[in-house]
């Protein structure tokens, strides 16, 4: 099976994440896309919502797509959430799968600083999704693909700010996520 892995804090997950995953699925012929919320991101400050809340939002956001699913792999591990550990764990459980790590162009630029970056690239392919309005990224040959498809200029930071200001996030996040955020009082 050819599986895309899209990791992130998903604080909260939004339609830009979903569109990027769908574009990658179509462009690369992926059988599945698995969304992996990080427990403790090593390259940025920690998420505002709890791991359980972020997993719940990812589960709700992906529930309507037959090829999307959530994973709690990084939430079950203590310590920093290293992608190389997640991919290695996945391949131990499903050695026949071909893994493609889906990353944004901003994240791709940081990958050289990731733990065991060379090992990670030996374990999986990488698909880079350009952020809308940003120039294309120069990609190295071999193992790295460009995802072609429409993108949505939405950010979790913008969504948290809108919520904190009491403004609508309708059509920026799935309806179930907006309702969950409101019921739980997240990001206020």
> ∠ CA(103), CA(24), CA(1), 5° rounding?
100
Q: Which residues pair with 104 in a beta bridge?
A: 129
* CATH class of the domain whose range is 2-184: alpha beta
| Residue 116: burial class (beta carbons within 10 Å; 0-12, 13-18, 19+) | middle
Which 8-state DSSP code applies to residue 147?
E
> Can you give the pLDDT at residue 136?
67
Q: Each residue of 141-172: pLDDT tens digit?
A: 666 888 988 889 999 999 999 999 999 999 99
Decide: pTM greater than 0.75.
yes
């Amino acid at each position: 099976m050819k599986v895309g892995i899209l990791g992130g804090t998903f604080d909260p997950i939004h339609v830009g994440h979903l569109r990027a995953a769908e574009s990658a699925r179509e462009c690369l012929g992926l059988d599945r896309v698995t969304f992996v919320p990080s427990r403790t991101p090593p390259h940025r400050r920690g998420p505002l919502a709890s791991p359980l809340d972020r997993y719940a939002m990812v589960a709700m956001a992906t529930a309507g797509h037959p090829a999307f699913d959530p994973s709690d792999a990084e939430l079950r591990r203590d310590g920093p959430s290293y992608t190389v550990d997640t991919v290695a764990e996945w391949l131990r459980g499903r050695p026949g799968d071909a893994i493609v790590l889906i990353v944004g162009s901003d994240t791709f630029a940081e990958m050289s600083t990731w733990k065991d970056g060379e090992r990670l690239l030996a374990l999986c392919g990488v698909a880079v999704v350009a952020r809308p309005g940003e120039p294309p990224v120069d990609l190295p040959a071999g193992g790295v693909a460009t995802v072609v498809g429409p993108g949505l200029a939405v950010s979790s930071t913008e969504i948290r700010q809108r919520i904190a200001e009491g403004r609508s996030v309708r059509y920026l996040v799935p309806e179930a996520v907006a309702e969950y955020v409101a019921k739980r009082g997240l990001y206020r």
